[in-house]
Chain A
Amino acid sequence: MKNRIIDELRDIVGVHGLIVEPDQLRTYECDGLTNFRVMPSAVVLPASSEQVQRVVRMCHEERIPFVARGSGTGLSGGALPVDGCIVISLARLNRILHVDLPNARVVVEPGVINAAVTQRVAPHGYFYAPDPSSQSVCTIGGNIAENSGGAHCLKYGFTVNHVLGLKVVLPNGELAELGGMALDTPGYDLPGIFVGSEGTLGIAIEVTLRIVKRPEAVQTLLAAFNSPDEAGAAVSDIIARGILPAAIEMMDRLAIEAAEAAVHAHYPMCDGLLLVELDGPTAEVDLLMQEVKAICSDCGAWELRLAQSEAERTVVWKGRKAAFAAMGRISPDYIVQDGVIPRTALPRVLRDIEALSAAAGLRVANVFHAGDGNLHPLVLYDRTIAGQEHVAEELSFAILKLCVDAGGSITGEHGVGREKQKFMSVMFAEPDLDTMQLVRCAFDPYHLSNPDKVFPRTRLCAEKPGRYEPHPLETAGIAELF
C-alpha cells in the first residue's frame, strides 16, 4: 500500500488506530472460517463514526476495497480480507447510545456486543431477541451484516425483524439514514435490504433495535429418543398441533458426546435429543408443556426432563450453544455447515447425510434448529491426514446440495460470504442473481464494499445481464473482474 495512503489513514484514525505491521495484521487475515486466509494491506480501528466515514470516503476516491469487521466470529468468511484491502474494524464503536423503554427501542453503535444489549435492558424485564450462539462475543454490526438468527428466532424472528433504523456510510462515503425510530418510514424498505447484505452495501454506524419484553414463564424440556427420525416426528407433531415453541433444538449422539465432554450439561445419551423451550403466560406454558410432553412420549421419547431451575436451564443451553466449539473434544478439525430444509424433509435428509457420511468415511455430527429446519452438520476430519480436508469440504458441500434439492437454502444464518459463493448458482438462476446485483450497483457501483463475497461472479455495474461479455473497462485494462 502506498505510503501516501498509509499517511492519510494515520491522519484519520491516529497512530493507535492503524495497523500495518505484518505480525499484527495476521490477526485479521481470517474470521471464524479459518481455512480461508488473506492478509489485508492495512487495518484501521476508527474511534468515531466520522472517522469511519472519512476512511470510506478515501477508499472511494482511491478505489481501494474495504472490508468491515466486527468480532470476526462469522463462519462463512464474510469478514475475510481481499488482496490490497483495508479492514475497517468497528470494535471501538461500542457504545449503547440510547435506551427508550416505553417504546422498546435501543440505539447502539455497531461494535456493541450482542449480549450487552440484553444485559443493559434485563433489569427492566426486556431482552434483545436474536441470540446467535456466539452472542457473548459477536457484535450487532456483524449480526446486521449476516442477518443473524439463533435458537429463538423460531418464535422471535431474525436480526432483520429487530432492526428498525440504521445510519450507514455508503460505499461512496456518503451518510444515509435508513428507516428510523417509528415503523413504516416512507420509501423503500432499505433496512430490509441492508440487513443480511453481508457488508456489501456499506457500513452501519448506528443501529436502532427493537427489544422484547421477557415472557412471564419459560420452560425447557429435554426429550431423549432412539433415533433422529422419532425426534423429527415429535417436532412435526408439535408444530402441527399449532404450538409455536420459542425454540426446538435437536442433537445427535456425536453432538451430545462432544457437548458433554465440554460442558457437562448432563444430557441423556441418545440418538436424537430434543430441547423444546416454551415461553409466554404461565397458564399457557403449563398447558402447552403437558401437550408437548404427551407428543414426545407418543413419538417414543424414553426420558423427559424439565429443567427445574433457571440454573439448570442455563446449563442445558450452554451445552447446546457450545456444541460447535465442543467438536474440538472429539475431533482435531471440523467444518460447520448451515443448510436449511423444509422441516418435513428432515428424516429423509438426515438419512441421506448418513449415507454420504458413510461413503466419505468421515463422521458427521448433527446439531440443528429443528423447528425451522436449519441444519448444522459438523463434518469431522483430521487435516494432518493427506487429502482428508478436501474430502471433508466435498462432503459438506454435498450436504448443502441435498438441502437445495429438498427445496431449502444453502444458508440459514451464517451467510454466503466467501465460502458458499459458488453455491449461489445452485440455488438461484442467473436472472435472480443479476437482479440482486442491481441493488449492489445502486449502492456500490465500484464494488469496493466487501468485494468478492456473496455472488459467484461479480458483474461490473454497467454490464448488461445475459451471456458474459467483457465490460469495456475490462478490455481497456482499467478494471478487472474480482
Chain B
Amino acid sequence: MTQSVLLQAELSALVGAAHASATSSDDMVDGLQPQLIVEPGDVDELSAVLRWANDAGVHVLPRGGGTKQGWGNAPHGGELILSTRRLNQVLEHAWGDMTASAQAGCTVEAFNLRLAEHGQQLALDPLWPNQATIGGVLSVNDSGALRLRYGSLRDLIIGITIVLPDGTIARSGGKVVKNVAGYDLPKLLTGSFGTLGVIVDATFRLYPLPHALRTVTINAPNAALANELLLRVLDSTLVPVSMQLRAGSGRPLQLDICFVGSTAAINVQTEQLARLCLAMGCVAETAADELVPWQAREALWAGDSGAVVCKMSLLPAQQALLVAEVERLTTALRLQWELVTQAVGVGTVRLAGANDQVLMVGLKLLRSWAEAQGGSLVVLAAPTTVKQRIDVWGQAPAALPVMRRVKEHFDPHGILNPGRFVGGI
C-alpha cells in the first residue's frame, strides 16, 4: 500500500470514507500537490483529524471556499487539505441583539441572505462573497470599502471557536458585543492565515441594512486633487459608508463615495458633497447603478493570469503619492497598471505586461517605496515563477520574534500552513 492509501484509511476511520478522498490537480497550492482532502462533519471530527495529523507529523492546509488558497507564501508542506465545506451552517441569528454566528464553511453570501431576513447584515464587502467562507475571509482578513464606516473583521468579530493542532477545542470572546473577559483570541486569529488553529465558527456584531443608498462618482483631473477631495470629505461632517479611488493606465481617475440612510439625509449629503466638489473644480455624478463602482476591486483579479495583484497599505493622505509612484514606475518599465484604494489607506494594485522579470523589478521598487513611507506591499496573486522568487509579505515585521513565539506555542510541530505567513511562519 502507498503512503497515501494508508493515510486515507486512517482518516476514513475518523470522518467516514466518503469524506476522506484523493486530491486532483485542482487542489494544488502554489505548485504543491496535497494528497488528500478531509471534510469533517462536526467540531469533534475536526479535532480528531487535527490531533491525528499533529501526532503523525502531517502538514495541514485548511480550506474554505478555496478562493484565496494562493495567498501567502507557497507552503513548505501540505499533504492534507482540511476542508470546512460541510461545516456550512448559520448557527444563530439573535436579531434582537444584532449578533449572529456561523460555521466556518458558510459562505459570506449565504450568511448575509439569512441576516437580511431581519434587515441586518454582516457589514463587510469581501471578494467573491458567493464562494468565500466566513473562516476564509477571517483567516486572510479580507475587507472592502465598507471598512470606512464599519471597520474590518477585527472590529466585527466578537467570538470564535477554534481547534488547535493538538485537538484542543477552544472558545474565546462570546455572543455579546461588549466583553473584555480574557484575551481577545478572535482578533489574534483574524488574519493569521490558518497558522495558529482552524476556525470552526465565529460570532459577529451586525448592522442594520440601510433603507437607501446612493453612490456618487467624481471624475478627478489628477491624483493630487482626488486625494485632496478624499481628505476634505474625511475632514467634513459628511458620513459616507465607503469611499474609494480608482485609477489605471489610460483611464480617468475616479473617486466613488457611497451614502446610506434616509433619502432626505442622503439628498442633503450629496448636495453638500456637490458644493465641495464645485469649489474644487470637479463634478459629482450619481452612479446609474449604485453597486457597479464597488465591484472594481474584484475586477482587478479578472483577465490575464500573468498579472500581479498586491495589497498596499498606506495612509489616507498618501494616496496621490501612491498613484504618482505607480505611474512613474510603470511608465519606466512599460507595465499596465490599475488600482483601487479605499479611503482608509488600504488599496489593491494590479500590474501586468512585459515579462516576469520586469514585473519582479516593478514589485520590488514599489515595495521599497511603500516601506520607506511606513506602509507595506503584500503580493496576493502572481505567476508561480514570480512567487517563488519573492517573499509575498515584504520586510519582516518588527515584532516577528513575538509572532514566532506565539506560533510555537499554538502549533509547536508546525503542521498548520507551514511557511505561508510572515517571516516563514
**Residues of chain A having any CB pair with chain B under 8 Å:** 100-105, 125, 146-147, 149, 153, 157-158, 160-161, 170, 174, 176-178, 180-190, 192-193, 195-197, 213-216, 236, 239-240, 242-244, 280-284, 287-288, 340-344, 369, 372-374, 407-416, 420, 424, 427-429, 431-436, 438-443, 454-455, 465
Check: B107 CB closer than 8 A to any chain A CB: no
Is the Cβ of B169 less than 8 Å from the Cβ of A431? yes
B352 contact set on A, CB distance < 8 A: none
A240 contact set on B, CB distance < 8 A: 95-96
> Which of B27-35, B203-211, B357-365 binds A?
B203-211
Q: Given that A183-B344, A216-B237, A280-B239 are contacting pairs, would A372 and B168 also be in contact in the complex, using a CB cutoff of 8 Å?
A: no
A432 contact set on B, CB distance < 8 A: 170-172, 182
Instruction: Give the docked Cα–Cα distance between A178 and B399 (Å).
Output: 6
Is the Cβ of A213 less than 8 Å from the Cβ of B236? yes
Check: B86 CB closer than 8 A to any chain A CB: no
**Residues of chain B having any CB pair with chain A under 8 Å:** 94-99, 119, 141, 151-152, 154-155, 162, 164, 168-172, 174-185, 187-188, 190-192, 196, 207-209, 211, 231, 234-239, 261-262, 264-265, 267-269, 311, 313-317, 344-346, 374-376, 378, 393-394, 397-403, 405-406, 408-410, 421-423
Which of A185, A188, A369, A420 lies in contact with B376, CB distance below 8 A?
A185
Contacts A153-B178, A287-B265 given; 4 further ones with Cβ under 8 A? A170-B402, A185-B397, A188-B192, A429-B171
Is the Cβ of B314 less than 8 Å from the Cβ of A242? no
Instruction: Say how far A135's CB is from chain B's closest CB, in angstroms.
Output: 17
Leading 8 A-B pairs by shortest Cβ distance:
A192-B187, A242-B208, A216-B237, A284-B265, A435-B170, A344-B96, A409-B179, A177-B398
A242 contact set on B, CB distance < 8 A: 119, 208-209, 211
Q: Given that A104-B234, A438-B409 are contacting pairs, would A176 and B399 also be in contact in the complex, using a CB cutoff of 8 Å?
A: yes
B152 contact set on A, CB distance < 8 A: 183-184
A185 contact set on B, CB distance < 8 A: 313, 376, 397
Is the Cβ of B313 less than 8 Å from the Cβ of A442? no
Is the Cβ of A416 less than 8 Å from the Cβ of B96? no
**A403 to B, closest residue via Cβ:** B176
Instruction: Say how far A440's CB is from chain B's closest CB, in angstroms.
Output: 8
Instruction: Give the docked Cα–Cα distance between A261 and B112 (Å).
Output: 48
A433 contact set on B, CB distance < 8 A: 182
Tell me which of B97, B162, B267 has the highest count of chain A C-beta atoms within 10 A of its own C-beta: B97
Is the Cβ of A157 less than 8 Å from the Cβ of B151? yes
Which of A182, A411, A436 lies in contact with B315, CB distance below 8 A?
A182
Is the Cβ of B168 less than 8 Å from the Cβ of A103? no
Q: Given that A283-B265, A342-B97, A436-B172 are contacting pairs, would A186 and B397 also be in contact in the complex, using a CB cutoff of 8 Å?
A: yes
Instruction: Give the docked Cα–Cα distance between A153 and B405 (Å).
Output: 33
**B236 to A, closest residue via Cβ:** A213
B234 contact set on A, CB distance < 8 A: 104, 213
B96 contact set on A, CB distance < 8 A: 236, 239-240, 342-344
Of the A-B pairs whose beta carbons lie under 8 Å apart in the complex, a sample of 12, sorted by A's number, is A102-B315, A160-B184, A176-B398, A177-B398, A178-B399, A186-B393, A281-B239, A287-B265, A342-B175, A407-B175, A435-B170, A442-B409
Which of B97, B188, B393, B399 lies in contact with A439, CB distance below 8 A?
B188
Instruction: Give the docked Cα–Cα distance between A197 and B394 (Å).
Output: 29
Is the Cβ of A442 less than 8 Å from the Cβ of B94? no
Is the Cβ of A102 less than 8 Å from the Cβ of B231? yes
B168 contact set on A, CB distance < 8 A: 431, 434-435, 465
B154 contact set on A, CB distance < 8 A: 160, 189, 192
Q: Given that A183-B345, A189-B188 are contacting pairs, would A427 and B181 also be in contact in the complex, using a CB cutoff of 8 Å?
A: yes
Instruction: Give the docked Cα–Cα distance between A159 and B294 (Å).
Output: 30
A102 contact set on B, CB distance < 8 A: 231, 235, 315-317
Is the Cβ of A412 less than 8 Å from the Cβ of B172? no
B180 contact set on A, CB distance < 8 A: 146-147, 149, 158, 196, 409, 411-416
A181 contact set on B, CB distance < 8 A: 315, 374
B191 contact set on A, CB distance < 8 A: 184, 188-189
Is the Cβ of A187 less than 8 Å from the Cβ of B237? no
Is the Cβ of B178 less than 8 Å from the Cβ of A192? no
B237 contact set on A, CB distance < 8 A: 213-216, 281
Instruction: Give the docked Cα–Cα distance between A480 and B274 (Å).
Output: 68
Instruction: Say how far B312's CB is from chain A's closest CB, in angstroms.
Output: 9
Instruction: Say how far B258's CB is from chain A's closest CB, in angstroms.
Output: 14
A157 contact set on B, CB distance < 8 A: 151, 155
Is the Cβ of B151 less than 8 Å from the Cβ of A161? yes
A374 contact set on B, CB distance < 8 A: 178
Tell me which of B180, B237, B265, B400 has the highest count of chain A C-beta atoms within 10 A of its own C-beta: B180
Is the Cβ of B374 less than 8 Å from the Cβ of A182? yes
Is the Cβ of B264 less than 8 Å from the Cβ of A442? no
B423 contact set on A, CB distance < 8 A: 187
B408 contact set on A, CB distance < 8 A: 442
Tell me which of B211, B231, B267, B394 has the highest count of chain A C-beta atoms within 10 A of its own C-beta: B231
B399 contact set on A, CB distance < 8 A: 176-178, 187, 190
Which of A149, A196, A411 lies in contact with B184, CB distance below 8 A?
A196
A408 contact set on B, CB distance < 8 A: 174-176, 179
**B171 to A, closest residue via Cβ:** A432
Which of B170, B238, B317, B398 lies in contact with A103, CB distance below 8 A?
B317
Which of B97, B182, B231 lies in contact with A428, CB distance below 8 A?
B182
B208 contact set on A, CB distance < 8 A: 242-244
Is the Cβ of A197 less than 8 Å from the Cβ of B375? no
Instruction: Say how far A99's CB is from chain B's closest CB, in angstroms.
Output: 13
Instruction: Give the docked Cα–Cα distance between A330 and B177 (Å).
Output: 32
